[in-house]
Amino acid sequence: MDQTELKSRIKRALLEELDLRGKTEADIDDAAPLFGAGLGLDSLDALQLAMAIEERFGVTIPEGEASRTIFASVNAIAEHIARAKAE
Amino acid sequence: MARRERIAITGLGMVSALGLGREESFRRLCAGERGIGPVSLFDTAGLRSQIAAEVRGLDVAALAPRGEAADWSRSDALAFVAARDALTHAGHVDGVPLGLALGGTTGGMYETERALAVLPKGQIQPQDARRLLDFPLAVSVERVARTLGSVVCSATVCSACSSGAVAIALAASWLLSGRVPRVVAGGVDGLCQLTFTGFNALGAVDPKPCRPFDVARAGLTLGEGAACLVLELESAARERGAQIIALLSGWAVASEAHHVTHPEPSGERAAAVMRDALAAAGLEPGAIDYVNAHGTGTVQNDAMEARALTRVFGSELERVWLSSSKAQIGHTLGAAGAIEAAITALAIQRGQLPPTAGLEQPEAPELRHVRAPNQRATLRAALSSSFGFGGACAVLAFEAADTRARPLSWQGPRSVVISGAANFGALGLSSGVGAANSLSEAASSAPTPSAIDPLRLLDPDRSRRFGRASALVVAAAERALHDAGCDAAATGLVVGSAFGDVDRSVRFLQKLFEQGPKFASPAEFPQLIASTSSGNASLYLGLRGPCLSVSEFGTSGQSAVSVALSLLDLGLGQHILAGAAEAHDPIVDGVLGADRGEGGGFVLLEAEATAGARGHVPLARIVLHRAVRGDATRAFAELGAPTLPSEACVVRGRLPSPVAGALTRSAWGAVTSYDLPARAGYHEALGAFGLSFAAAQIAAGRAAQALLVTADVDTVYITLLEPVQPARGPA
């Protein structure tokens, strides 16, 4: 899967799993922070996202601080998935 | 403000993981024993936690009346044992009219799960789905009421983990207003996979038995159980020479409006609720000797609670004993507020301090944790705190039976008006005088409500994950609140809900059964409990008054109005929104018939004087709102005749034929009648839709009296509205 396709799938997961109604893939910047100011997501969203990434992409998301780095942005999630798949 | 007396606790019943009865539970609790072990009720493979505080040896079949064994859930049986034991303890004799108020969050979910587990995968057929609707939350109250007999008024309340405490506060209002002389009030929750998996998915459970207030605490341990208190006025209890276990002196119920699962971290809101309970009880912090904490063992709750206690007690903190019972009996969710109220009352009566088990290194050593088992102390007064999802807080204040009686103040019943009204029907959202047209001819030819998406009326960023029912509730409540011009922070909300989001719960469980617990959705779980809509509305609208749900089949909206009136009597919230909404649901529609509609309505209730002080002109005044169990003939007769039959109207819900007959034979039989199901399609919140319609009839000057009659199961509700009297000028 190329990077563009992967990022598109990540954005679809974000939109659906976090119920970001009224937003489209185009509204999510690849490099923008997802939590805090960005999309206004919180720790409940982080838990949901971890579950959804594991389910949709078959990769494990570690608990705690490590997940915070992975969920920094769409780019960071894509990197984690690509790295985990390569291992 | 009116004067009031205290409420006597004259009987207690308790079932917990430590015992099937009060004495065994309390003795083992004080001894520091723990009732936590591997879960036997269902498979926990793959979950973070494999343990719970299960009630062992509960024989549901032996407790249910003959022929009903297959219909009773574990929660029904738990509630029945607690209620029966409490009445025996109180020396109750049959014939004294009883009120019954129970709090809970999941009712017969365990049995629903068993029924679902054996269904074929995929789409559920209507004939298979019926069993999934056999356990609506209100069923425990109905079963216990029928088995006990002599229950004249009842309610099922849910405010997540503070439900049991809210039921007890509600009981106090029934007693003080003279509605009933004796009340059995408490809470019940049986373990089920929905909550067990949900709390696991949230990462909120400790794999080891929970360790409240410990630095190493890592989450809660779920439990199950029930407790009931027999409550009566102090004067009545003393007059009949009843044993008074302890006195309930004060209460406070409010919402944080902060986050669906996280407590407000500074503890400021929780502290305010504790202070309100103390103020209601006429007690200073210095009078409190013991606090039974919510103390779940989650990192966030216990830290918040320690901060709240510091705010309330200040330098008194080192003197006030503190413990959490959850390391021994688990977090019993909707039952917790009642079980812990019972524990607090027994601790006061017997001078025994239940410890916090498993506490090795306190995070806040400045708190006076009860650590050793079987400690004794004289307790004059104590608090029991409960905090739930959606920021639902409730605190109860208790005193020793021999403390000096003193007059206390409370709000008391006042003239209540409808200051805002909105309903959702075929024409979408209507409000105020506009709701008078919500049943017009145009309404019957308008598109079905399914064509109008209530979510589109809400801000998408703030209504993420709201289900359709929540969206209907929030949209209608927001409009009624807006029209009334009330401050959201001083407003509470009571939502009537018959079934909840059945389809969504079933999908959560099907995924669990088919894919295992690893993929249980953490964000979905808080949307699946009975108080989801009231919690969502509190957060969305910023409501900081008491926010809770009630359940009573097709009269849930009318029960919500009753409970809202009680909250106003108690002075909990200046303004209370009350109503109900039901949404299309493939499973509920499939079972109840394809012609089941959707919609609902909310009214904003407040004292006439409160509206007047704001310069607001209300839509109508509530002259009477009454629930009648059984034959309604006498209630219609007591209503008297309409003042001017040509200017009166009756708004009718779906009425069983004896009720319809009694209404037709009454003096109200011949006035203009609006048949709601015929004109708006039946759903369980139709009565709530009708109340807004009736208020609008009055406000529009189309009627001088509007009588709303709705009924379901054994209960008939009669609500009479009239215009608000114009303010009197100088004589």
Q: Which residues in chain A touch residue B48, judged by CB atoms under 8 angstroms apart?
A: none
Catalytic pick from B158, B161, B393, B486?
A: B161
Cβ A22–B262 below 8 Å, yes or no?
A: no
Nearest-Cα residue of chain B relative to residue A19: B464
Where does residue B281 rank: exposed (0-12), middle (13-18), buried (19+ CB within 10 A)? buried
CATH number for the domain that contains residue B361: 3.40.47.10
Determine contact: B205 vs chain A, CB below 8 A. Answer: no
Of B464, B515, B522, Cβ closest to residue A19: B464
- What is the model's pLDDT at position B729? 44
Confidence of residue B730 (pLDDT cuts 50, 70, 90): very low
Per-window interface: A 43-72 vs B, CB < 8 A: 43-45, 47-48, 51, 54-55, 63
| Mutation for testing the A interface, residue in B300, B456, B465 having most A CBs under 10 Å | B465
Residue of B nearest to A23 (CA): B460
Domain assignment present for B577: yes
What is the rounded CA–CA span in Å between residue B435 and residue B619? 11
pLDDT category of residue B96 using cuts at 50, 70 and 90: very high
Q: Is B518 on the interface with A (CB under 8 A)?
A: yes
**Taking CB atoms and an 8 Å cutoff, what residues of chain A touch B262?**
42-44
Strand, coil or helix: B21:
coil
Domain co-membership, B352 together with B464: no
> Which of B378, B410, B442 is the endpoint of a domain?
B410
Residue B210, in any domain of the structure: yes
Same domain, B513 and B626: yes
Judged by CB atoms closer than 8 Å, whether chains meet at B522 and A48 is answered as yes
Question: Is residue B730 situated within a structural domain?
Answer: no
pLDDT at residue B616 in the model = 97
Asked whether the beta carbons of residue A19 and residue B465 sit closer than 8 angstroms, the reply is yes
Query: pLDDT tens-digit profile of B525-562?
Result: 999 999 999 999 999 999 999 999 999 999 999 999 99
Question: How much of chain A is helix, strand and coil, in % rounded to 5?
Answer: 60, 0, 40
Catalytic residue among B30, B92, B153, B331: B331
What would the pLDDT profile of B226-281 be if each residue is shown by its tens digit? 999 999 999 999 999 999 999 999 999 999 999 999 999 999 999 999 999 999 99
Domain count, chain B: 2
Instruction: Answer with the one of B371, B387, B410 that is the final residue of a domain.
Output: B410
Is residue B314 left, alpha or beta, with left meaning phi > 0 and alpha meaning psi from -120 to 50? left
Which residues, 6 or more positions from B683, have their beta carbon under 8 angstroms from its beta carbon? B582, B596, B597, B598, B599, B600
Beta-strand pair B648-652/B672-675: parallel
Residues of chain A with C-beta less than 8 angstroms from the C-beta of B261:
44
Instruction: Check if the beta carbon of residue B679 is closer than 8 Å to that of residue B703.
Output: no
Q: Does B520 touch chain A (CB under 8 A)?
A: yes
Query: Which of B537-546, B594-603, B651-660, B704-713 has the weakest average pLDDT?
Result: B594-603
Residue B122: what pLDDT? Answer: 81
Residue B65 to residue B86: CA distance in whole angstroms: 19
| Residue B250 CB neighbours (<10 A) | 26
Q: Residue length, chain B?
A: 731
Domain match, B384 and B424 both? no
Q: Please report, rounded to a whole number, the percentage of residues in chain B having pLDDT higher than 70.
A: 98
Please check whether residues B427 and B399 belong to one and the same domain.
no
Q: How far apart are CA B259 and CA B269, in angstroms?
A: 12
Burial of B3 (0-12, 13-18, 19+ CB in 10 A): exposed
Q: Are B685 and B496 in contact (CB under 8 A)?
A: yes
To which H or E segment does residue A32 belong? none
Give the count of domains, chain A.
1
Verify whether the Cβ–Cβ distance A44 to B202 is below 8 Å: yes
**Contact call for B464 and A20, based on CB within 8 A:** yes
CB contact under 8 A, A40 and B522: no
Residue B268: closest CA among B311, B236, B301, B320: B311
B422 in the same domain as B406: no
pLDDT digits (tens, 9 = 90+) for A40-54: 788 899 999 999 999
Contacts of B519 in chain A (CB under 8 A): 51, 54-55
Residue B728 lies in a domain: no
Chain A touched by B67 (CB under 8 Å): no
The helix or strand, by DSSP H or E, that contains position B172, with its residue range, turns out to be helix B163-176
pLDDT value of position B731: 41
**Cβ-Cβ contacts under 8 Å, A59 against chain B:** none
- Candidates B708, B705, B485, B706; CA nearest to B617 is B485
Cβ–Cβ below 8 Å for A63 and B203? yes
Closest residue in B to A47 (Cα) is B522
Residue B98 sits at φ, ψ, to 5 deg, of -115, 145
Q: Give residue A67's pLDDT.
A: 86
Q: Is residue B447 part of a domain?
A: yes
Residue to test with chain B: of A51, A53, A56, A67, most B Cβ within 10 A: A51
List CB contacts (< 8 A) between B455 and chain A.
Answer: 21
Closest by Cβ to B464, choosing from A21, A43, A54 = A21
- Count Cβ–Cβ pairs < 8 Å, chain A vs chain B: 48
* Length, in residues, of chain A: 87
B265 in A contact zone (CB under 8 Å):
no
Task: Return the residue in B521, B527, B540 with the most chain A beta carbons within 10 A, the one to mutate for interface testing.
Answer: B521
With CA atoms as reference, report the closest residue to B498 among B440, B551, B576.
Answer: B551
Check residue B595 and give its pLDDT: 83
Q: Which residues of A touch B464 (CB under 8 A)?
A: 18-21
Q: Which residues of chain A from 18 to 37 reach within 8 Å of chain B, CB to CB?
A: 18-23
User: Is B575 one of the catalytic residues?
Assistant: no
Residues A54, B464: C-beta atoms closer than 8 Å:
no
CA B636, chain centre distance (Å): 29
Question: What are the b/e assignments for B251-260, b being 16+ CB within 10 Å?
Answer: bbbbbbbbbb
CA of B455: which chain A residue's CA is closest? A21
For residue A51, the chain B residues in CB contact (below 8 A) are 201, 518-522
Run of H or E including B38: strand B37-38
Nearest CA in chain A to B516: A55
Query: What was the pLDDT predicted at B127?
Result: 83
pLDDT at B155 over 80: yes
In a domain, B1, yes or no: no
**B452 pLDDT more than 60:** yes
Domain containing A33 — which CATH number?
1.10.1200.10
Residue B585 tokens read as: 């649901």
Q: Model confidence at B163, in pLDDT bands (50, 70, 90)?
A: very high
With CA atoms as reference, the chain A residue closest to B526 would be: A44
Do both B385 and B529 map to the same domain?
no
> Sorting pLDDT into bands at 50, 70 and 90, what band is B185?
very high
Chain B nearest-CA distance from A38, in A, is 12
Matching residue, tokens 């309409």: B642
* Mutation to test the A interface, candidates B512, B519, B527, B532, most A Cβ within 10 Å: B519
Identify whether residues B368 and B480 lie together within a single domain: no
Contacts of B518 in chain A (CB under 8 A): 51, 54-55
Does the annotation mark B625 as catalytic?
A: no
Q: Does the annotation count B683 as an active-site position?
A: no
Question: Among residues B89, B92, B294, B369, which one is catalytic?
Answer: B294
Cβ(B249)–Cβ(B381) under 8 Å? Answer: yes
- B464 and chain A in contact, CB less than 8 A: yes
The CA distance from A22 to the nearest CA of chain B, in Å, is 7
Summarised one tens digit per residue, pLDDT across range B381-422 is 999 999 998 899 999 999 999 999 988 999 999 999 999 999
Which of A20, A22, A48 comes nearest B523 by C-beta? Answer: A48
Inter-chain CB proximity B522 and A20 less than 8 Å: no
Report CA torsion sign: B590, B594, B595, B600: positive
Q: Is the dihedral of CA B45, B50, B53, B57 positive or negative?
A: positive
pLDDT, residue B95, reads 86
Is pLDDT above 70 for B219? Answer: yes
Residue B162 CB-density burial (10 A; 0-12 exposed, 13-18 middle, 19+ buried): buried
Residue B203 forms contact with A (CB below 8 Å): yes
- Strand pairing of B375-376 and B352-353? antiparallel
Of B357, B383, B410, which closes a domain? Answer: B410
- The number of C-alpha atoms within 13 Å of B56 and in the hemisphere containing its C-beta is 14
Identify the domain containing residue B162 by its residue range.
8-410
Distance CA B300, CA B218 (A): 10
CA atoms within 13 A on the CB side of B512: 31
Residues 6 or more apart in contact with residue B435 via CB below 8 angstroms = B421, B422, B423, B601, B692, B693, B695, B696
Tens of pLDDT, residue by residue over B298-333, are 999 999 999 999 999 999 999 999 999 999 999 999
Domain region containing A44? 3-86
CA distance B501 to chain A (A): 17
Amino acid symbol at A20: L
Domain assignment present for B729? no
Answer whether A21 sits within 8 Å of B260, measured CB to CB.
no
Pick from B18, B116, B20, B135: nearest CA to B71: B135
Query: Which of the two residues, B442 and B678, has the higher pLDDT score?
Result: B678
* Chain-chain contact of B202 with A40 (C-beta, under 8 angstroms): no
- Work out the burial of residue B95: count CB atoms within 10 Å of its CB; fewer than 13 is exposed, 13-18 middle, 19 or more buried: exposed
Tell me which chain B residues have a C-beta less than 8 angstroms from the C-beta of A17. 523
